[in-house]
Chains A and B, each alone.
Chain A
Amino acid sequence: MRKVTRRLLLLGAAALLSISSTSSRARAQSADDDLPAVRLSGAGVELMKLGLPRVEGDQGGSTGAGETLTKDLDMTGLFQVLDPSSFPAQLQGEGLGFSSALWTQVGAQAVVKMRVSGGQVEGRVYVVARGDTAQLSKVYSAADVRDAVHQFANDVVKSFTGQPGIFGSRIALALTGKGSHEIAVVDADGGRMSVVTKMGSDCLLPAFSPSGGEIAFTSYLRNNPDLYIVSAGGGRARRTSKWPGLNTGAAWAPNGGLALTLSHEGNAELYRIGTDGAVQARLTSNPAIDSSPSFSPDGSQIAFVSNRGGSPQIYVMPAGGGAPKRVTFQGKYNQTPRWSPRADKPQIAFTGRDERGVFDVFILDVRSGRVDRVTQGKGSNLDPTWSPDGKLLAYVSSRGGLFVQNPETHHEVQVWRGSASSPSWGPAPKR
């Protein structure tokens, strides 16, 4: 009886307390509601501080695994990779284990660990705020350790953003400067460059096919700018379009065939051709020069450059031809449009010449017409190409070589040194 009584007493007191706290919360809520309200938008972006301790089994960088992982994760523009020389010895000798308390002291928000043994790579991802349990723990095997590291880097990106990275994809380039002017292919991180043509003449404007198996490009091999297609792995190039005059600036349609500029009828116009070179349709008909086509991800629209308004500007028209609509109105010289592969975010990257005569990379939001600048104050930067996930842009620069930038964070990395033009980023690696 006494127990029951005590319980009843406690229940009564709890009911009173609950009523009192509910009413005080309600009062506080009501007090907050009375405050003037403002909306904060346009948040900046902070890179996540990432600890990347030395890779086990990669003493002295012998396998290149540590360097590859660091470059991959730096390239994403999502992380600020902390300097490993600042880590105390205790952390360096931690192995694949993890102590969140220790990593907090060096300011890391997340830690990525890797061990290389034989052809295998074992990777772990820890988030300091989530304790000592690994958020990702996986073993990767590949013939080349670089490929295994790229697979791990893709999973690291996925563990933070929900979408895998693009490592393992490749970028085609037209080599310029001294030496050969052939078409080359490099890994997205600038590694493993290979020349895929042996034309012995100027080659330009490469374009990766949607499957990644072929590259279309223009060459002056027969003293006319003809269109060729070569296997992405190298081999004999096939002359595909050989009309007198221009056969340049080819873009692969997502649903088959190509669009390019031909001038055999007197003026530079856009045409649709098959992979056998047969003309399927003439897309533009205008006394102005029309060039640089780029398909929207669903293949329904084409962005291109035309000087029909007096100066080179970006226009958009239906992929089957039709009335073009001008989409850039700022700047007097806009060229090389590249439609983002992201269907949910229609954007066109392009090269623009600003009021001081400097070429830089810009992004046009197709829906709003808003133009944002990607590069600024670092020489001339041109010929943008989107990564297969539409998160990164690669472009060439007067600083020499190929650069990759995350336009959201403006984090830029030089991935390849050399002289090249017109990069074309191939499709995502097969998973």
Chain B
Amino acid sequence: MVEPTSRHGMRRASGRGLPGLVITIALHGGILAAVAVAGSKEEPPLIVSHDFVVAEMVKLGKPREKFWLPRIQQPARAEAPPQTLKVAEDPNAAAAPKEAPRPDDPKISKDLKRALDRARKLEALATPDEPDEGSATGSKLGTSNREIGDQYQAQVVGMLHQNYNFPAGINVDQINNPPEIAFHIGGDGTIADVHLTKPSGNSFVDDACVDAAKLTAKLPPPPAGVRGMRVQCEK
């Protein structure tokens, strides 16, 4: 049998073959779908998902007496970056600011003297902050007065907590479903692929959860086997 060679003939031939092709694709699609559905109804996964753990790290400091009234928790202080260039050696550095006037200087005006006296009195009223209170074996990242949970997870929670902020005025009591995020942790501790896995229904609250991970950016290098983290953000 001689195959048709004209363009017209070819078009007719392929026109006849197309329904067959469509049926083939549809059949294959059906098979793949059946396999996917069957796969999704497989036995429970071998790795059972972890329950959420509350991991808190105790703050470094002197323990507070149980029967004293509480103090406002101060946020963990960030360590100053190492000084790479001394200001005195910087030829472009701005001139040092003028020394503040002294109240006993006879040249200053009465108004300025009064203002300085008032500032001194207000300063005397302000009580200097005491050293942080916590436990002698605590961490600078700690926020709690009790240490529980896995050490690395507690470190992660401590670091995320520093960047976990809700906008004021949002009534968090009305949020029934706390948002959940997941991210990957590189070998050097870098946070990547931060994504929302369970939205709360309030974009401000979801953003606060995602931002906690994005702003933290880097964690301590994870222990073997840890390649990511799931985080549920409560109020």
Contact = CB atoms under 8 A, between A and B. Distances in A.
A36 B50 contact: yes
Interface stretch (A57-65, A219-227, A353-361): A353-361
A236 to B, nearest CB: 40
Interface stretch (B89-97, B100-108, B109-117, B160-168): B160-168
Contacts of A76: 169
Contacts of B98: none
Given A37-B53, A330-B67, A371-B69, A48 B169 contact: yes
Interface in B151-191: 153, 156-157, 160-161, 164-173, 182
Interface stretch (A186-194, A210-218, A286-294, A375-383): A375-383
Interface residues of A, number: 68
A37 B229 contact: yes
Contact of B69 (A5, A42, A373): A373
A306 B191 CA distance: 55
Of B69, B173, B235, most A-chain CB atoms within 10 Å: B69
Contacts, number: 191
A375 to B, nearest CB: 9
Contacts of B21: 9
Contacts of A353: 69
B192 interface: no
A53 B101 CA distance: 35
A373 B33 contact: no
Contact of A373 (B70, B129, B173, B228): B70
A356 to B, nearest CB: 7
Nearest to B69: A331
Interface size class of B (residues with CB under 8 A): 35 or more
Contacts of B227: 35
Contacts of B125: 378-379, 398-399
Interface in B105-144: 122, 125-129, 143
A50 B19 CA distance: 63
A42 B168 contact: no
Contacts of B226: 36
A35 B143 contact: no
Interface string B26-41: 1011001100100110
Contacts of B28: 16
A367 B167 CA distance: 26
Contact of A45 (B45, B150, B166, B212): B166
Given A35-B182, A43-B233, A373 B157 contact: no
Contacts of A371: 69-70
B129 A41 contact: no
Contact of A41 (B153, B168, B234): B234
Interface in A344-392: 344, 352-356, 358, 360, 362, 371-373, 376-379
A45 B156 contact: no
A19 B232 contact: no
Interface stretch (A22-30, A138-146, A256-264): A22-30
Contacts of A32: 182, 197, 228, 230
Given A8-B22, A12-B29, A40-B157, A34 B47 contact: yes
A19 B32 contact: yes
Interface of A: 1-2, 5, 8-9, 12-13, 15-16, 19, 22-23, 26, 29-30, 32-48, 76-79, 109, 157, 160-163, 329-331, 344, 352-356, 358, 360, 362, 371-373, 376-379, 398-399, 406, 408-411
* Interchain residue pairs A-B with the least CB separation, the first 10: A379-B125, A12-B25, A37-B230, A331-B69, A33-B49, A46-B165, A78-B169, A41-B234, A44-B165, A32-B182
28 contacts: A5-B22, A9-B18, A15-B33, A22-B36, A23-B36, A26-B40, A30-B45, A34-B47, A35-B182, A35-B228, A36-B228, A37-B51, A38-B156, A38-B231, A38-B232, A45-B167, A45-B168, A47-B167, A48-B167, A48-B169, A163-B171, A355-B69, A356-B127, A358-B127, A362-B70, A377-B129, A406-B168, A409-B168
Given A42-B161, A163-B171, 18 more contacts: A9-B22, A16-B32, A23-B36, A34-B45, A37-B50, A37-B231, A38-B153, A39-B52, A40-B157, A45-B166, A45-B168, A161-B169, A344-B173, A355-B68, A356-B127, A362-B69, A376-B72, A378-B125
